Chain A
């Protein structure tokens, strides 16, 4: 083998090893416990506590991977119909607040605004607020979220 050919081989081997190394590194940094979020119904409150009108923020918590996660939903009362909205802004995931004077949901991060039916009225959010299914059983209200 000529010296030149040998060096070419060495260089090739070096880059192959490097590629293999970068590839394994990018697998290594990926968390091993990523799983799909599963759908759960979680107890929210008793039926009697449902708001008569307007928007009510309801805090609740649940357990995931041995830690308590605090969360909240907004329950909007329509004509004997209730809608639950996730508070997570559809832009980049901040939590929105309900402004009772202006009657709109306000995102503190980049000024996204939604009306009481969850539609975007201003700012960068690309989609309306996510609706969450509500279920009423034996006088108890449950909300369906992905945990």
Chain B
């Protein structure tokens, strides 16, 4: 294993530049609360992986969406398991982002020079919530429909551009198949790509600035 990796690396050369990242010294007095962000990231990986699997069976159309969800749960071997993993990882992802933010807040790690990283984190949280909101519609059942009805109605309360926003988000006057496709596209393309970019920036800044020491 090591030999194969060394051979690849002799051509590819990823080991050297990442040494500083992987073998850096960690300040004393860190404890397990510093793992919270890492746990959230692990959930993100789980979501990406189970999401890729779900996308093989899920059909994002008005007629098929609900049926395909039923099929994933009842007919596909281990489908119920993958779907539950996705669902629970999504919930715990949000929970651990919040725990992580609380830890950062308590340690005052949002202060300069790390303020930009705090902003990146907040942006990531917004994207995570947006993923949750768009993903919630995809089962295309009553709960999903009404949650989206309420959620998109909130866009309508924005002054001046409210009407534009609500119809642009719904893709029509009411929630229908167009909305479903929009949300699906956001959920599997736009938001994950944004998330990857944000996380890259987040980790890059952690690498540059080190982790904040306890007060």
Contact = CB atoms under 8 A, between A and B. Distances in A.
Chains A and B are bound partners: yes
Interface of A: 26, 29-31, 33-34, 37, 92-95, 108-109
A56 B120 CA distance: 53
B162 interface: no
B168 A94 contact: no
A37 B173 contact: yes
A92 B166 CA distance: 12
Contacts of A31: 167-168, 170-172, 178
Main secondary structure of the interface of B (DSSP, over half): helix
B153 A26 contact: no
Interface string B142-162: 000010011001100000000
B146 A34 contact: no
Given A30-B164, A34-B167, A94 B146 contact: yes
Given A30-B164, A31-B167, A31-B178, A93 B149 contact: yes
5 contacts: A31-B170, A31-B171, A92-B149, A92-B150, A93-B153
Contact of A29 (B154, B168, B173): B168
A92 B154 contact: yes
A117 B103 CA distance: 51
A92 B175 CA distance: 14
Nearest to A67: B176
A29 B190 CA distance: 14
